[in-house]
Amino acid sequence: MELVPPLNADEIRGLFAPPPWGGDVPLSPFCMTNVGEWDKFRNIDMDKQDSIIESLEDSSGEQRSHLDADKVAVLTAWHRVDCRTRNALRRSFLSELINSYEERVRSFIRESRDGDVLVLQVQDPFHRLLLHGVCEFYNLLSTTFTQFEGPNSLKMTRICKKKASVADLPNITLCNFLKMAKEGVW
Protein backbone atom coordinates (compact mmCIF):
# COMPACT_ATOMS: atom_id res chain seq x y z
CA MET A 1 0.00 0.00 0.00
CA GLU A 2 2.84 2.41 0.85
CA LEU A 3 4.67 1.77 -2.45
CA VAL A 4 1.64 2.46 -4.67
CA PRO A 5 0.46 6.03 -4.99
CA PRO A 6 -3.28 6.70 -4.82
CA LEU A 7 -5.10 5.73 -8.05
CA ASN A 8 -8.01 7.52 -9.66
CA ALA A 9 -11.11 5.76 -11.06
CA ASP A 10 -9.79 5.44 -14.63
CA GLU A 11 -6.56 3.85 -13.44
CA ILE A 12 -8.43 1.35 -11.26
CA ARG A 13 -10.80 0.48 -14.13
CA GLY A 14 -7.76 -0.06 -16.41
CA LEU A 15 -6.32 -2.58 -13.97
CA PHE A 16 -9.47 -4.70 -13.94
CA ALA A 17 -10.57 -4.31 -17.58
CA PRO A 18 -10.95 -7.50 -19.64
CA PRO A 19 -8.71 -8.17 -22.65
CA PRO A 20 -7.79 -6.42 -24.86
CA TRP A 21 -6.52 -4.44 -21.86
CA GLY A 22 -8.38 -1.28 -21.25
CA GLY A 23 -11.38 -1.90 -23.54
CA ASP A 24 -14.89 -1.21 -22.37
CA VAL A 25 -16.94 -4.14 -21.12
CA PRO A 26 -19.53 -5.15 -23.75
CA LEU A 27 -23.12 -4.81 -22.65
CA SER A 28 -25.07 -7.97 -21.99
CA PRO A 29 -28.39 -8.56 -23.76
CA PHE A 30 -30.20 -7.89 -20.49
CA CYS A 31 -28.52 -4.50 -20.16
CA MET A 32 -29.47 -3.58 -23.72
CA THR A 33 -33.18 -4.36 -23.29
CA ASN A 34 -35.66 -1.79 -22.21
CA VAL A 35 -35.64 -2.36 -18.46
CA GLY A 36 -39.25 -1.28 -18.01
CA GLU A 37 -40.51 -3.78 -20.61
CA TRP A 38 -38.40 -6.59 -19.18
CA ASP A 39 -39.61 -5.88 -15.64
CA LYS A 40 -43.24 -6.05 -16.80
CA PHE A 41 -42.63 -9.51 -18.28
CA ARG A 42 -40.58 -10.66 -15.31
CA ASN A 43 -43.19 -9.62 -12.75
CA ILE A 44 -46.18 -11.45 -14.28
CA ASP A 45 -47.32 -14.95 -13.35
CA MET A 46 -45.06 -17.82 -14.57
CA ASP A 47 -47.99 -19.51 -16.36
CA LYS A 48 -48.66 -16.33 -18.33
CA GLN A 49 -44.96 -16.11 -19.19
CA ASP A 50 -45.05 -19.68 -20.42
CA SER A 51 -48.12 -19.07 -22.62
CA ILE A 52 -46.51 -15.95 -24.12
CA ILE A 53 -43.33 -17.85 -24.95
CA GLU A 54 -45.31 -20.76 -26.44
CA SER A 55 -47.34 -18.43 -28.66
CA LEU A 56 -44.13 -16.82 -29.93
CA GLU A 57 -42.62 -20.23 -30.67
CA ASP A 58 -45.79 -21.41 -32.44
CA SER A 59 -45.96 -18.38 -34.71
CA SER A 60 -42.32 -18.73 -35.76
CA GLY A 61 -42.83 -22.47 -36.25
CA GLU A 62 -45.75 -21.89 -38.62
CA GLN A 63 -43.69 -19.51 -40.74
CA ARG A 64 -40.77 -21.93 -40.76
CA SER A 65 -42.95 -24.90 -41.73
CA HIS A 66 -44.47 -22.94 -44.61
CA LEU A 67 -41.03 -22.04 -45.95
CA ASP A 68 -39.53 -25.48 -45.46
CA ALA A 69 -42.41 -27.57 -46.88
CA ASP A 70 -40.47 -28.39 -50.05
CA LYS A 71 -37.38 -29.29 -48.08
CA VAL A 72 -39.35 -31.57 -45.76
CA ALA A 73 -41.10 -33.25 -48.72
CA VAL A 74 -37.79 -33.98 -50.45
CA LEU A 75 -36.11 -35.25 -47.29
CA THR A 76 -39.11 -37.48 -46.55
CA ALA A 77 -38.93 -38.89 -50.06
CA TRP A 78 -35.15 -39.33 -49.77
CA HIS A 79 -35.52 -41.28 -46.52
CA ARG A 80 -37.90 -43.71 -48.26
CA VAL A 81 -35.03 -44.79 -50.50
CA ASP A 82 -33.12 -47.86 -49.30
CA CYS A 83 -29.74 -46.99 -47.76
CA ARG A 84 -27.83 -49.16 -50.25
CA THR A 85 -29.56 -47.40 -53.14
CA ARG A 86 -28.92 -43.98 -51.54
CA ASN A 87 -25.21 -44.78 -51.38
CA ALA A 88 -25.25 -45.85 -55.04
CA LEU A 89 -27.08 -42.66 -56.05
CA ARG A 90 -24.60 -40.50 -54.13
CA ARG A 91 -21.47 -42.37 -55.17
CA SER A 92 -21.91 -42.51 -58.94
CA PHE A 93 -24.39 -39.86 -59.91
CA LEU A 94 -25.57 -40.37 -63.51
CA SER A 95 -27.70 -37.25 -63.83
CA GLU A 96 -28.91 -37.79 -67.41
CA LEU A 97 -30.02 -41.35 -66.72
CA ILE A 98 -31.73 -40.47 -63.43
CA ASN A 99 -33.37 -37.46 -65.06
CA SER A 100 -34.79 -39.62 -67.88
CA TYR A 101 -36.15 -42.14 -65.34
CA GLU A 102 -37.62 -39.29 -63.32
CA GLU A 103 -39.37 -37.75 -66.32
CA ARG A 104 -41.03 -41.07 -67.15
CA VAL A 105 -42.00 -41.76 -63.54
CA ARG A 106 -43.34 -38.24 -62.92
CA SER A 107 -45.45 -38.31 -66.10
CA PHE A 108 -46.71 -41.78 -65.08
CA ILE A 109 -47.76 -40.43 -61.66
CA ARG A 110 -49.53 -37.41 -63.20
CA GLU A 111 -51.31 -39.22 -66.05
CA SER A 112 -52.08 -42.68 -64.66
CA ARG A 113 -55.07 -43.97 -62.75
CA ASP A 114 -55.20 -46.66 -60.08
CA GLY A 115 -54.22 -50.03 -61.46
CA ASP A 116 -52.12 -48.65 -64.33
CA VAL A 117 -48.66 -50.15 -64.76
CA LEU A 118 -45.52 -48.74 -66.35
CA VAL A 119 -43.11 -51.35 -67.70
CA LEU A 120 -39.53 -50.40 -68.58
CA GLN A 121 -36.85 -52.59 -70.09
CA VAL A 122 -33.57 -52.04 -68.25
CA GLN A 123 -30.84 -54.64 -68.75
CA ASP A 124 -27.97 -53.19 -66.71
CA PRO A 125 -28.20 -54.22 -63.01
CA PHE A 126 -26.82 -50.91 -61.73
CA HIS A 127 -29.26 -48.92 -63.87
CA ARG A 128 -32.10 -51.07 -62.50
CA LEU A 129 -30.92 -50.26 -58.97
CA LEU A 130 -31.09 -46.55 -59.82
CA LEU A 131 -34.56 -46.99 -61.33
CA HIS A 132 -35.75 -48.73 -58.16
CA GLY A 133 -34.31 -45.82 -56.16
CA VAL A 134 -36.26 -43.31 -58.26
CA CYS A 135 -39.42 -45.36 -57.68
CA GLU A 136 -38.82 -45.48 -53.92
CA PHE A 137 -38.25 -41.71 -53.93
CA TYR A 138 -41.68 -41.22 -55.54
CA ASN A 139 -43.30 -43.84 -53.27
CA LEU A 140 -44.05 -46.34 -56.07
CA LEU A 141 -43.81 -50.13 -56.14
CA SER A 142 -41.25 -51.52 -58.56
CA THR A 143 -40.45 -55.13 -59.29
CA THR A 144 -38.06 -56.62 -61.80
CA PHE A 145 -38.94 -59.79 -63.66
CA THR A 146 -37.37 -61.80 -66.46
CA GLN A 147 -39.22 -62.15 -69.73
CA PHE A 148 -38.06 -64.96 -72.00
CA GLU A 149 -38.18 -64.45 -75.77
CA GLY A 150 -36.70 -67.50 -77.40
CA PRO A 151 -33.10 -68.01 -76.30
CA ASN A 152 -32.84 -64.42 -75.00
CA SER A 153 -34.05 -63.19 -71.64
CA LEU A 154 -35.03 -59.59 -71.00
CA LYS A 155 -35.13 -57.87 -67.64
CA MET A 156 -38.28 -55.80 -67.27
CA THR A 157 -39.23 -53.49 -64.41
CA ARG A 158 -42.91 -53.13 -63.54
CA ILE A 159 -43.86 -49.88 -61.79
CA CYS A 160 -47.22 -49.19 -60.17
CA LYS A 161 -48.71 -46.97 -57.50
CA LYS A 162 -49.07 -48.27 -53.96
CA LYS A 163 -52.63 -49.12 -52.98
CA ALA A 164 -53.08 -46.98 -49.84
CA SER A 165 -50.78 -44.07 -50.61
CA VAL A 166 -51.29 -40.86 -52.49
CA ALA A 167 -48.35 -40.22 -54.78
CA ASP A 168 -47.44 -36.61 -54.05
CA LEU A 169 -44.86 -35.12 -56.37
CA PRO A 170 -42.23 -33.08 -54.53
CA ASN A 171 -41.40 -29.75 -56.15
CA ILE A 172 -37.68 -30.57 -56.00
CA THR A 173 -36.74 -33.55 -58.17
CA LEU A 174 -34.36 -36.28 -57.07
CA CYS A 175 -31.85 -35.16 -59.69
CA ASN A 176 -31.90 -31.57 -58.39
CA PHE A 177 -31.68 -32.79 -54.79
CA LEU A 178 -28.60 -34.89 -55.60
CA LYS A 179 -26.96 -31.95 -57.43
CA MET A 180 -27.58 -29.65 -54.45
CA ALA A 181 -26.28 -32.29 -52.02
CA LYS A 182 -23.12 -32.80 -54.10
CA GLU A 183 -22.49 -29.03 -54.29
CA GLY A 184 -22.99 -28.71 -50.53
CA VAL A 185 -26.05 -26.49 -50.85
CA TRP A 186 -28.24 -28.95 -48.96
Nearest Cα neighbor of 122 from 140, 104, 95 is 104
Structure-model confidence comparison of residues 184 and 145, the more confident one: 145
Would you say the C-alpha torsion 47, 48, 50, 51 has a positive or negative sign?
positive
Percent of the chain with pLDDT over 70: 77
Q: How confident is residue 131, by pLDDT bands cut at 50, 70 and 90?
A: very high
Q: Residue 22: is its pLDDT beyond 60?
A: no
Alpha-carbon distances, residue 94 vs 14, 16, 60, 68 (angstroms): 65, 63, 39, 27
Minimum mean pLDDT range among 37-41, 60-64, 78-82, 182-186: 60-64
Averaged pLDDT score across all residues of the chain:
80
DSSP line for 97-160: HHHHHHHHHHHHHHH--TT-EEEEE---HHHHHHHHHHHHHTTEEEEEEEEEETTEEEEEEEEE
Q: Where does residue 184 fall: left (phi above 0), alpha (psi -120 to 50 degrees), or beta otherwise? A: left
pLDDT for the residue 21: 56
Q: What is the DSSP letter of 34?
A: -
Is the N-terminal amide bond of 5 cis, ω within 30° of 0?
no
Structure-model confidence comparison of residues 66 and 37, the more confident one: 37
The helix or strand, by DSSP H or E, that contains position 161, with its residue range, turns out to be: strand 152-161
Q: Residue 52: is its pLDDT beyond 90?
A: no
Residue range 88-117, pLDDT digits in tens: 888 877 889 989 999 999 999 888 887 889
pLDDT for the residue 172: 85
Q: Which residues contact 45 (CB under 8 A, 6 or more apart)?
A: none
Structure-model confidence comparison of residues 47 and 14, the more confident one: 47
Percent of the chain with pLDDT over 90: 19
Spell 84-103 as b/e; 16+ CB within 10 A means b. Answer: ebbebbeeeebeebbeebbe
